[in-house]
């Protein structure tokens, strides 16, 4: 049964169909791993032990009837603690909200439950989803499982999801992404993370950071699993009207159709156009360039291109948009010094009041103009290949909260309304490095197809941390 923890969602689904094990056995394995490992790893805010067992027994009973069930039926999932579940505490990563009980259920939780999935609990995150390192001074930062001696950045803001999935406490989890918050923790923890197009997954019942840039996304250990989860999560929702514009499709078709990416065109930014910073690690650059060679070897057309001069310099714009919106959401209590709000997050939110209304509107207009220009310039390309984060996970004690290093390569994806896939790309000193495949709006199928080809060609997604010292 211990081998169950190494299986992906797709493999667990196949095992259930073949009656090799039951949903209850799967749940018991992961609950045992949570009990053994999460005292150290600190990824869960709350574990739904009794509920998970009851739902597993119910899933087995339904399967035993012989009636058809979906591919995710009876499989475990964990939720970032901004996806509300009615009647349950939803903290949004904030000590201020540690007793906040949700009054509605998020569309994300609804759709996963409708697919027959079993929520294992809620996962830690950066306070109000506002940070890329993964720190949280009041709720505690999850421990990156790739180094059990030195606490390293788990990545944010979906820190608990990245840690729990990498440590095999759950086979997959849900994150959210405003400037990289799915892709950054996926990179630091060596897993696969899908940032979907804004409007692909309903944000109803989700605690927001920025209603202009937020998106929900799956985090897992394979591209196939991300496609399976996206099938369950994507779709129109009248409670979030932007979702009504999306095309309907089967995302698993992109990963079932094989790994033939011949003729697909990938834009590789001219290395000379990368941000002029010493922060990009040599091993990250090498992994990125090797990934380009891997795609060339698979038959894709990799073309070095000169990016727009603003492409790597959108921080002021994204800060103006997300900061202004975050301040609007939290302005009623952000200045209350008695409330246990982390100083870095408090400062980021308070900075939003300095943004003039006219400047906010101007930034939205500029973003729309740049989206149109980028779409025109790259209309003949299927994807852009970039590093995901510039460095491997840094020791928590060495982190400068004011250094905007983690989203250096990710924030532009949100700014331009793109979709993107973070992929494991090897190790540097025993720590994961990652590349990201950015695709056009609503073209998740293309990035999933490219990601599947890269995954099958390299096997980097199979690397795992050594957790023997904590009984895993």
What CA–CA distance (Å, rounded) separates 297 from 303?
Answer: 13
**Catalytic site residue 80?**
yes
What CA–CA distance (Å, rounded) separates 206 from 82?
Answer: 6
Question: 411-439 burial, b for 16+ CB within 10 Å, e for fewer?
Answer: bbbbbbbbbbbbbbbbbbeebbbbbbbbb
Q: Which of 306, 110, 80 is nearest to 209 (CA)?
A: 80
**Residue 431: which residues within 8 A CB-CB, separation 6 or more?**
146, 147, 152, 392, 393
Token pair, residue 312, equals 């790597």
Q: If you compute the radius of gyration of the chain from its CA atoms, what whole number of angstroms results? A: 21
Exactly one of 13, 22, 181, 222 is catalytic; which is it? 181
Query: Do 421 and 186 meet the contact criterion of CB atoms below 8 Å apart?
Result: no
**Residue 160: which residues within 8 A CB-CB, separation 6 or more?**
42, 43, 44, 45, 78, 80, 81, 123, 124, 125, 142, 154, 173
**For the chain, counts of helices (H) and of strands (E):** 14, 11
Exactly one of 13, 23, 94, 157 is catalytic; which is it? 157
What CA–CA distance (Å, rounded) separates 459 from 456?
Answer: 6
Q: Torsion over CA of 55, 61, 66 and 70, rounded to 10 degrees?
A: 0
Q: What are phi and psi of 181, to 5 degrees?
A: -75, -10
145 CB-contact burial (10 Å; exposed 0-12 / middle 13-18 / buried 19+): buried
**Catalytic site residue 452?**
no
What CA–CA distance (Å, rounded) separates 78 from 38?
Answer: 14
Checking DSSP bridges between strand 192-195 and strand 118-123, what pairing results, if any? unpaired
What CA–CA distance (Å, rounded) separates 435 from 425?
Answer: 6
Query: Do 174 and 78 meet the contact criterion of CB atoms below 8 Å apart?
Result: yes
Question: Which residue reads 């003949």 in tokens?
Answer: 380
Other C-beta atoms lying within 10 Å of the C-beta of residue 148: 17
Token pair, residue 38, equals 């999460």
Exactly one of 40, 80, 122, 449 is catalytic; which is it? 80
Residue 144 DSSP class: P
Token pair, residue 19, equals 């009656």
Query: Do 391 and 160 meet the contact criterion of CB atoms below 8 Å apart?
Result: no
Query: Annotated active-site positions, please?
Result: 80, 157, 181
């Amino acid at each position: 049964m211990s081998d169950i923890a190494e299986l992906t969602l797709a493999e667990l689904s196949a095992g259930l169909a073949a009656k090799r094990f039951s949903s209850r056995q799967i749940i018991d394995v992961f609950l045992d791993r949570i009990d053994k490992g999460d005292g150290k790893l600190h990824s869960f805010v709350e574990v739904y032990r009794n509920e998970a067992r009851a739902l597993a027994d119910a899933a087995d009973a339904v399967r035993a009837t012989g009636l058809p069930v979906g591919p995710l039926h009876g499989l475990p999932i964990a939720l970032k603690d901004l996806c509300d579940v009615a009647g349950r505490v939803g903290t949004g990563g904030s000590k201020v909200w540690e007793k906040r009980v949700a009054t509605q259920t998020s569309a994300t939780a609804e759709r996963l439950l409708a697919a027959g999935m079993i929520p294992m609990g809620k996962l830690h995150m950066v306070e109000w989803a506002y940070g890329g390192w993964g720190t949280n001074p009041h709720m505690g930062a999850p421990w990156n499982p790739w180094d059990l001696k030195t606490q390293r950045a788990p990545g944010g803001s979906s820190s608990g999801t990245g840690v729990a999935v990498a440590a095999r406490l759950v086979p997959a989890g849900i994150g959210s992404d405003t400037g990289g918050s799915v892709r950054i923790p996926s990179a630091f923890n060596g897993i696969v993370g899908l940032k979907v197009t804004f409007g692909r997954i309903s944000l109803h019942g989700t605690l927001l950071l920025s209603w202009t840039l937020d998106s929900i996304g799956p985090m897992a250990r394979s591209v196939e699993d991300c496609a399976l989860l996206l099938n369950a999560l994507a779709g129109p929702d009248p409670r979030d009207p932007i979702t009504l514009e999306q095309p309907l499709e089967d995302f698993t078709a992109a990963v079932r159709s094989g790994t033939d990416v011949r003729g697909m065109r990938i834009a590789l930014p001219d290395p000379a156009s990368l941000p002029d910073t010493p922060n990009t690690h040599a091993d990250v650059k090498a992994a990125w360039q090797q990934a380009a060679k891997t795609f060339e070897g698979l038959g894709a057309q990799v073309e070095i291109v000169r990016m727009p001069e603003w492409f790597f310099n959108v921080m002021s714009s994204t800060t103006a948009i997300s900061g202004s919106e975050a301040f609007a959401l939290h302005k009623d209590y952000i200045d209350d010094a008695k409330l246990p709000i982390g100083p870095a997050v408090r400062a980021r939110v308070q900075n939003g009041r300095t943004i003039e209304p006219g400047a906010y509107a101007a930034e939205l207009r500029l973003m729309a103009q740049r989206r149109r220009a980028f779409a025109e310039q790259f209309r003949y390309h299927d994807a852009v290949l970039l590093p995901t984060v510039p460095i491997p996970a840094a020791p928590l004690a060495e982190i400068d909260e004011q250094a905007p290093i983690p989203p250096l390569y990710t924030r532009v994806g949100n700014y331009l309304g793109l979709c993107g896939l973070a992929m494991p790309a090897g190790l540097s000193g025993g720590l994961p490095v990652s590349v990201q495949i950015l695709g056009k709006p609503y073209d998740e199928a293309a990035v999933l197809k490219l990601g599947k080809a890269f995954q099958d060609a390299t096997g980097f997604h199979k690397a795992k941390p050594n957790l023997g010292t904590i009984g895993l």
